[in-house]
Structure 1
Amino acid sequence: MDYQAKTNWTYNDTVTEQDMNRIEAGLGDLHQRLDTPATSKLVLQPGTQTIQVERDTPFHLSGISGRMLLNLLGRNGNCESLNGWAFSGTAALNTSQFVTGTASIQITAGSGGGIMSRSVELKVGKTYVLAASIKLGTATGAKVSVTGIDNGSGVSSSSDFTISYMRFTATSSTHSIAVVLQATQGQTAYIDAIRLYEISAAEYSQLSSMTASQVDQMYPYTEGLAGVQNPYAIRWTSAAKADVAAMLAFDTELLAPPVPASDAERDRLEKGVDGQYYKVSNWCKVALTGDLSWILRTSSTGVKCVQITGLGQSIATTPQGYMTKYDGKVVKNDLGAIANWKTGDMWQLGDPSYSNLILSIAGSDSGWGDNYTPTADELKAYFYGWVMGTQASNGTFTVGYNGTGTKAWRGLVNDNGSGTVDVPRTYFQDQYEQPDWKPYELMYKRSIAINAPVPSEGNLSLVKGDNVIEIGTGLILREFSKPLLYPTSSNRYMINYIAQGGYANPLKYMPYKIVEVYRNNRKQQVNVGTTSDRSNWYGGVYIDDIPDYRPENVYSVTYLIQAKRPSVNFIASILNNEYAMIDHLIRDMQQTTRRVSVVENKKAENDSSDWITPTLLNGWVNRDVSISDPRVGYRKMNSSSTMELRGIILGGPAGSSILFKLPKSFRPAIHHFVPVLAYASGSYQPAYLTITPSGDVVANNVPSSVGWYILSGTVPLT
């Protein structure tokens, strides 16, 4: 009971034993509050919740653990294509009804009903959850199903997408999964975001008491190796969630196996004694793109094995980790002899140190014929999203090239064109143009866990009364962006525009909601929102009419991405008395002083990435790396906001020509001109490079008698 002070004493009042007991109890309570810290554990679950506290209090995060969802359907569950499914009735893509991507599959029941189904390979005795987002058209119901096992929960809404789900234990190595309509001929339903995950026995048990919305929150639709990416806790000013009151967010991904044997296998984020957040990282995740140095390892009938050396030391037993290919399907980890690999889609981290990645690729995927040896650049092209083939004189493209005819390339997915005869050195298409292609991904177990600092922003606190707290993932922090002038305006600037081909400035990931826009690191009020016009605005999200735009200003955006990632609990403690709060304040001051001291004494230099060696074009070659010349290269510096160039080259044509192409992450937002020197006729002469937003590095003003051309300079990427 709270202490009740008596404030109306008079001179003649008698002090009773009850008065003394009350006073002593108050003193004892005060002594307890000032002598012993009192805290209580707080578990914040994924989603939005209202937390009540009796007083303003700091929020002390104890930790966040890693998790991963691996959709066993690959990208066939995104319902952006009819490929991979069998249908009873008729099926078509519907671009006006969807929950993920840009389309759903509309099923129209025939005389035999309405069903979409496919076969999947599973592990006998293992437990799984199957779910799909369904919106009824004129059908009376729909549900997921596993043939020979059971049906899932039914869906009855025609106003919104809701999920049908079921848990099951595999009784065979192959099962048929389906979405089944309750419908008569001609009735319809829309299907999207189908996912199939292997789960633990504990998760299987928990599913029996979960609601459909809880299942949707716990098992969202994902693609590839989906870890806990950029977790956040936001306290909103109200339940409307329009304005941020306080926020704690992290720029990291916390990983784990799909079904961990123990919590020790999970990555974990914790606060160090210095106040910095750290990640205990058991896993390393790598995007296997054409930017890496691929070499051909072996070749056999229908299959070629490629390799990257020195990727990272892994463990010597399976599973070393997990890999998905460009279509999201799982690639098998096999530590057996590579000579015995007779099919594609196998990998290992092998050789003596378990650090060389070897991957088998079927000729039907790559287009590399049995009688053809692909070059280094042609290996890279595959990992940029291109398949090799033969182009006929009439322009017809046939997958596969064996060394005769016209060699050509076209996109691995959703490309029925005649292809290009030039070796591709960039990604097939930008992500906002081609959502169905993603690079291979590898997640491997480190031989020794590392402890690494994690960038974070904000500091969450709770206020007396109700606190609307949202826990989630996918918050991108302060991504730099260069506003562009709207094509038909002289003073209207925008961000996340994609309509004009190369004249576009989309955010890196498809956005779902803009949280904050910053100008020179200060919040700026701008016109943001969502629209059905997804052809002009990436993901249907706009940042428009940016006021008082100045090109010298630096703009950045904090936003939530549309792609779902698994969420986890935030385990925290709150402070319940004065001792705990004073102790917390003193520790925070000590940590802040220590971190400021480190910053003040650190050398004034920025970390730079490793040099990347490009493929030179148009006859240009490195001058002579046997003396002291550096190879032509580029790298990011200054916290990745600036690119640095180096090298000395010769052999190219006079005038203007492309030296090499930059990958998308190294391209500037606008054209940049870099002054350089050309050595010709015994003297140095001025020349310049043009760096374009499309990635061309162009040599200009090259003299006809050029001896060599010196690359040296920096390019801002924002």
Structure 2
Amino acid sequence: MTNPVTPNIGLNKIDRTSPSTTYFDLDKYIDQNADAVDQFAGEASEAIGALEKRLDTEERREVVLQPGLQIVNAERSAPFKLSGIKGRTLVNLLGRDGGCESVNRWSAAYQTSVMLDTGMKEGGSSSLKVSATGTASFEHYIDHEGIPVKVDAHYILVGMAKPSNNKSKAYMRIYGLDSNNEPNNIYAASNTVEDTASFKPVVLKFKPTAVIKVVARLQLKDSLGNEIYIQDGQSGNFDSIRIYEISATEYTALDSMTPEQIAAKYPYVDSVQPVRNPYVIRYGENLAPTLFEGIRESSTKVLSEYSAIVKATGSTVVEYRSKLISAIPNTIYTLQAKITRNGVEKYDGVYVDVLGYDETGLYVLDTPGTVNTTGKDTFATPANIKTMEVRIVAPLDAAVGDYVIEDITLNVGNALEIHKPREDSILALQMDLYADPVTGEHADEVFEKEGQYFKLAKWKKVVLDGVQSYTITVNRLGYKVVGITWNFPTAIKDSVIATKHNGSQLEKLRAGDIDSASDQVILDITATVITISNTDSGWGVNYTPTVDEIKAYFMGWKMYDGGADASSTYNGTGLKAWVNLKQHKEGNSSNYTTTLPTVTAEGWAPYQIIYQLATPTVEPIVSEGMLTFIEGDNQIEVGTGIVLREGVKPVDAGDGTYWINGRTSPSYPLSKRPSRIQSVYKNNLPDNGWIAHPVDVGYEYVFGLVQARLGSGLFDPSANYSVTYLMLDKSPIALFTGSYAANEKAMLQELTDTVQQNATAVSVLMNKKVDNDAPGWITPTLLNGATSVDTTRFGTVAYRKLSTGKIQFRGLVQVTSSGADIFKLPSGFRPESYLKFPAANGGTYGEIVVLNTGEVRADVGGTGAKWYSLANITFLAEQ
């Protein structure tokens, strides 16, 4: 008979109903019970101790988020607390030439041609196509003009190459030039690319020993690897070429890295780029976008975010294609959906599947989709995948009729998940983070304090835009020495990184050195010296320019003898004239003037100086969002170049659809060239009706790689629209280091801190609102006959800086001519690049243009009165 026990810890009880219970068993009723009580007490003590630890001791898990896409597994759902981001600077010694947007400064060898190929590119708007034009026994290549290097320094050359056909191979070389500009061969050679489907990285490292310049060579081989006797017509494309000086440690580490890993670590940048506008996105546990975020056929009726009715007609039709989803190579994903017909689940008709694409847009993955009894499809992504899309397909053999598609779910891993709406989280920061470009030392740093992000700034950028103080200190043979002073923080002597208008780096001399050639720079504590060639400036050998003529050069104008052609120099007699230097170097000298220019030349990229501060400063950062982890696998993207909620003016294409970033004139493009439109907002709330489109060839008004379209009848003319997007121009990517709460104590402490910080933030915002509502307007000096009109209703033309770091305009201005400056913004009130804003003009349209050099001007549209309202103009002050 079973002995009775207590229900919770199993103590033995005497069975008083049994006649056999005639004695008291000491072992059974004393010792065993005592052991059971002791065991229970020990377990309870351990559990209580563990609970006390969870409630009394804060425990966090450290996490490092790497550049690019990755999977991060979190123990629990919790916010990410940023502990730091460090700056990084890449200096491309090829300047902007490596972008392959121009053939200038590239020369072709015998029986070789070079041209811009806009139809085949890895980045930007074109690549360089190198073609063999004969079969003589010569190598076929193009060379860049030599760039200065340092003996025994360490360098890496990286580029992207793609042979045009299977008869060709593509690779790169480096060779050196001595002090007489004669070849002194290094002849390091890169790996060879044979893949004709897409661009692949070619890399090589080199360490100069007896040369002062090196030349980058883009070269072809035949299918057998021969460098000579190449067949006529063989060709290859090259793009995104960069040469960086790196440290000895990095140089050694290259031997253990693949070309793909090297290309990722050393991405292409134009000229000098810091870590710019870093971001981290945690994509939703469900990666599938809503059915509103994609292209739908008219036979598909969307019922809600994740449900639709699809009509099968007996023809194969792709009923729905989602917006693109970032995909991780060599990773397991699971797709699932509920599909019914006449109220019964049915998986042998209409189905949901996934297509994947590589970086060139070619599809590399075509999954079977939900064509089984469970509506589930688990698949692995290939190594070359970049993005993927979810589709709803009505195949040819599907029974004709209506199908209901519900609860589309795409998640990482192979486990079935309960359907949830997609909810991404993002942390985005608007700032530049610099560091020593070779050693990585003295890096700018981001830190968080009381819920606000700050930058410990150790570097400063100065744009030489004509507003600085200039003096001619020396007139040398072939070049001039120009002294420059500015009212910025004190520099650490000799810490300068300087670039000229084409993005190439100026040679750095030390304070006290004597200049010896053009394109050199010397940085002292509060001033700098730059040497400028007479060929660039147009100043004659014996001519000393005035201060205003120096300013004109730094605004992009070359001086010349007006009685000769624009390639001449001015030597002090005759007619003075100025030509747009950038356009002149590209072969177009039509943009000239005989009046001393006072505005920045069209398309001009100013000289820039970056230097290390003698005393670091702490600066607040504009930020958006909060990153949170979900329990389990998180798909996370870390990158740079995000632009937050930029105001836009959608344009009617004439058929009832509206477009962002061009399509018709006026186009109102985004301020930066976009590579990806992340989100569109209507009155600061997400507007999921917009569909991202690659830029269509043939539309001259588009800008960058992508546009956004809103279907007919969905545009609200009374709403304010803005967009968050990624810039096409690349910058180095930094690690995000931080932690998340691993137990209850940490989560409670974080919750308490957040409540306190939010309460403080609300109080501060209220106070700042009072400040913003109060008069704080700056009234500028109006130029070129511009006047404030109707000041009673519109206020005097003025601007101010808000607490958010944005600049706000007001007033109604009357202008006298198109393109004339209205006023000029000082440093600290300027955007990072040119901005255009629509402005009312007597019933027609016009544009107000704000240049990154501070000029504010009106581009007149239509005819009649030229009055412009400035009231809707706001932008972020970035320099």
Conserved? CA contact 1:280–1:449, under 8 Å: yes
Conserved? CA contact 1:397–1:418, under 8 Å: no
Conserved? CA contact 1:635–1:644, under 8 Å: yes
Instruction: Give the 3-state SS of the residue equivalent to 1:398 in structure 2.
Output: coil
CA-CA distance at 1:481 after TM superposition: 1.8
Of 569, 580, 589, 1:410 maps to 580
Conserved? CA contact 1:397–1:419, under 8 Å: no
Of 475, 491, 497, 1:322 maps to 497
Aligned counterpart, 2:674: 511
Cα distance in 1 for residues equivalent to 2:507 and 2:820:
39
User: Does structure 1 residue 115 correspond to structure 2 residue 148?
Assistant: no
Of 142, 146, 156, 1:129 maps to 156
Provide the aligned length of Structure 1 versus Structure 2.
650
The superposition leaves residues 42-70 of structure 1 with CA deviations (integer Å, 9 ceiling, x where unpaired) of 11110100111222121111100000000
Cα distance in 1 for residues equivalent to 2:239 and 2:630:
40
- State which drifts further: 20-29 or 437-446: 20-29
CA-CA distance at 1:288 after TM superposition: 2.1
The superposition leaves residues 546-596 of structure 1 with CA deviations (integer Å, 9 ceiling, x where unpaired) of 764445432211100111100111111122111111122122222222333
CA 70–120 in structure 1, closer or farther in 2 if over 3 Å, else same: same
Report the AA paired with residue 590 of structure 2: S
Cα RMSD, aligned residues only: 3.6
Aligned counterpart, 2:66: 45
Cα distance in 1 for residues equivalent to 2:817 and 2:702:
35
Cα distance in 1 for residues equivalent to 2:12 and 2:743:
37
Cα distance in 1 for residues equivalent to 2:727 and 2:239:
18
CA 312–713 in structure 1, closer or farther in 2 if over 3 Å, else same: same
Report the AA paired with residue 837 of structure 2: A
Of 725, 730, 739, 1:564 maps to 730
Conserved? CA contact 1:70–1:224, under 8 Å: yes
Cα distance in 2 for residues equivalent to 1:366 and 1:485:
44
Aligned counterpart, 1:671: 839
Cα distance in 2 for residues equivalent to 1:560 and 1:60:
24
Instruction: Give the 3-state SS of the residue equivalent to 1:141 in structure 2.
Output: strand
Q: Provide structure 1 residue ranges, at least 5 long, that are not aligned to the other structure.
A: 1-5, 431-436, 623-631, 675-689, 700-710
Q: Provide structure 2 residue ranges, at least 5 long, that are not aligned to the other structure.
A: 1-5, 14-32, 176-185, 223-229, 288-324, 327-388, 390-421, 789-795, 825-829, 851-855, 861-866, 875-879
Aligned counterpart, 2:521: 347
Aligned counterpart, 1:707: none
Cα distance in 2 for residues equivalent to 1:69 and 1:636:
34
Instruction: Give the 3-state SS of the residue equivalent to 1:589 in structure 2.
Output: helix
Structure 1 residues 69-108: aligned runs within 5 Å: 69-88=90-109, 89-108=112-131
Conserved? CA contact 1:311–1:356, under 8 Å: no
Report the AA paired with residue 468 of structure 1: Q
The superposition leaves residues 248-287 of structure 1 with CA deviations (integer Å, 9 ceiling, x where unpaired) of 010001001112373xx11000111x22111000001122
User: Does structure 1 residue 195 correspond to structure 2 residue 359?
Assistant: no
CA 532–157 in structure 1, closer or farther in 2 if over 3 Å, else same: farther
Instruction: Give the 3-state SS of the residue equivalent to 2:90 in structure 1.
Output: strand
- State which drifts further: 524-533 or 140-149: 140-149
Report the AA paired with residue 873 of structure 2: L
Cα distance in 1 for residues equivalent to 2:672 and 2:87:
22
Aligned counterpart, 2:633: 466
CA 698–497 in structure 1, closer or farther in 2 if over 3 Å, else same: closer
Of 479, 486, 490, 1:310 maps to 486
Report the AA paired with residue 447 of structure 1: A
Cα distance in 1 for residues equivalent to 2:622 and 2:702:
29
Conserved? CA contact 1:145–1:180, under 8 Å: yes
Cα distance in 1 for residues equivalent to 2:528 and 2:811:
29
Conserved? CA contact 1:426–1:661, under 8 Å: no
Cα distance in 1 for residues equivalent to 2:423 and 2:745:
29
Conserved? CA contact 2:809–2:871, under 8 Å: yes
Cα distance in 2 for residues equivalent to 1:193 and 1:227:
17
Of 731, 744, 755, 1:578 maps to 744
TM-score normalised by length of structure 1: 0.81
- State which drifts further: 369-378 or 400-409: 369-378
Cα distance in 2 for residues equivalent to 1:303 and 1:73:
22
Of 277, 280, 289, 2:465 maps to 289
Instruction: Give the 3-state SS of the residue equivalent to 2:204 in structure 1.
Output: strand
Cα distance in 2 for residues equivalent to 1:103 and 1:378:
35
Instruction: Give the 3-state SS of the residue equivalent to 1:400 in structure 2.
Output: coil
User: Does structure 1 residue 270 correspond to structure 2 residue 447?
Assistant: yes
Conserved? CA contact 1:285–1:443, under 8 Å: yes
Conserved? CA contact 2:153–2:245, under 8 Å: yes
User: Does structure 1 residue 141 correspond to structure 2 residue 169?
Assistant: yes
Conserved? CA contact 1:314–1:444, under 8 Å: no
The superposition leaves residues 601-625 of structure 1 with CA deviations (integer Å, 9 ceiling, x where unpaired) of 34623497977657x447x999xxx
Aligned counterpart, 1:684: none
Report the AA paired with residue 329 of structure 1: S
Structure 1 residues 165-564: aligned runs within 5 Å: 165-172=203-210, 173-183=212-222, 184-186=230-232, 187-237=234-284, 240-241=325-326, 245-260=424-439, 262=441, 265-272=442-449, 274-290=450-466, 292-298=467-473, 300-301=475-476, 302-315=478-491, 317-318=493-494, 320-336=495-511, 340-341=514-515, 343-350=517-524, 354-370=525-541, 372=543, 374=545, 378-391=549-562, 397-402=566-571, 403-405=573-575, 407-412=577-582, 413-421=585-593, 422-429=595-602, 437-486=604-653, 488-489=654-655, 491-497=656-662, 500=665, 503-525=666-688, 526-533=690-697, 535-545=700-710, 548-564=714-730
- State which drifts further: 171-180 or 244-253: 171-180
Instruction: Give the 3-state SS of the residue equivalent to 2:590 in structure 1.
Output: coil
Report the AA paired with residue 191 of structure 2: S
CA 307–634 in structure 1, closer or farther in 2 if over 3 Å, else same: farther
Report the AA paired with residue 231 of structure 2: Q
Conserved? CA contact 2:840–2:869, under 8 Å: no
Aligned counterpart, 1:151: 189
Conserved? CA contact 1:294–1:306, under 8 Å: no
Conserved? CA contact 1:498–1:505, under 8 Å: no
Instruction: Give the 3-state SS of the residue equivalent to 1:670 in structure 2.
Output: strand
Cα distance in 2 for residues equivalent to 1:267 and 1:362:
34
Conserved? CA contact 1:323–1:442, under 8 Å: yes
Report the AA paired with residue 503 of structure 2: G
Instruction: Give the 3-state SS of the residue equivalent to 2:567 in structure 1.
Output: strand
- State which drifts further: 659-668 or 191-200: 659-668
TM-score normalised by length of structure 2: 0.67
Aligned counterpart, 2:760: 594
CA-CA distance at 1:497 after TM superposition: 0.8
CA 102–65 in structure 1, closer or farther in 2 if over 3 Å, else same: same
Identity %: 30
Aligned counterpart, 1:703: none
Report the AA paired with residue 716 of structure 1: N
Aligned counterpart, 2:23: none
User: Does structure 1 residue 25 correspond to structure 2 residue 201?
Assistant: no
CA-CA distance at 1:74 after TM superposition: 1.1
Report the AA paired with residue 178 of structure 1: R
Cα distance in 2 for residues equivalent to 1:170 and 1:211:
23
Cα distance in 2 for residues equivalent to 1:398 and 1:373:
18
Cα distance in 2 for residues equivalent to 1:399 and 1:244:
62
CA 411–609 in structure 1, closer or farther in 2 if over 3 Å, else same: farther
- State which drifts further: 527-536 or 574-583: 527-536
